[in-house]
Amino acid sequence: MTPQLLDLLEAHLGRIEQDPEIRAVVITGSGEKAFCVGADLKARQQEFAAEEAGDPFAQRVEQVFGHIERLPRPVIAAVNGYCLGGGLELALTADLRIAAAEARFGFPEAKVGSMPGAGGTQRLPRLVGPARAKELMFLADHVDAETAFRLGLVNRVVPRAELMDATVELARTICQRAPLSIQAIKAAVNLSMDVPLAQGLAFERERFAALRTSEDRREGIAAFLEKREPQFVGR
């Protein structure tokens, strides 16, 4: 995790938002060893020594990760190897996570006198519950992909050789659904993590009502009645 990588991610996110033809996003690591293992501690030693208050790099990470989480497209993390520290925090910003059987997950920060600082303490409990989140962060050990699946940290585990095919197939299936529906569902579910039930229900009603008058809603009903596949246009 470097400033250059964050800039690259931000640039891609901007292009994705401007292209209505992009209906789903996949994030994965290069090679087979790691998805992402967070910041390079050796490279940042001088920065740590110079910082008196705050951490511009951590603030930048939080900004970019928040952008991923709010992206009005479904984001799938294909976890191909080690997914640790800031790398796991990156994966947590995705809507869905598919892991290779060899993948390993963990927050090692407590072993070096630190703590997750890019959303891990907030997003992980929402996914697996506070007690399990604390255990993972307190112990600072790795868990394998099957354990991550049982915890609810990942949606699916597949053989490494099948990871990208399985992820792309999932993305393509989602892309066959109505884009406005997917956007509304993502926004409503994300909001449910942060607001009281009554506010979340009000937001749901608004989005539900808006979809009723969309072209895609009319197309979906027509396709169902005519027993054909719908052709959604995102309007």
Q: Which residues does the annotation mark as catalytic? A: 89, 109
Distance CA 175, CA 9 (A): 22
CB 178, CB 224: distance < 8 Å: no
DSSP 113: T
DSSP 8-class letter at 95: S
Report DSSP letters for 159-199, one per residue.
Answer: -GGGHHHHHHHHHHHHHTS-HHHHHHHHHHHHHHTTS-HHH
Measured over all CA atoms, what is the biggest interatomic distance in the chain, rounded to whole angstroms? 67
Pick from 87, 79, 90, 75: which is nearest to 145 by CA?
Answer: 79
Phi, psi of 91 (to 5 degrees): -60, -35
Q: Name 70's Cβ contacts closer than 8 Å, sequence gap at least 6.
A: 190
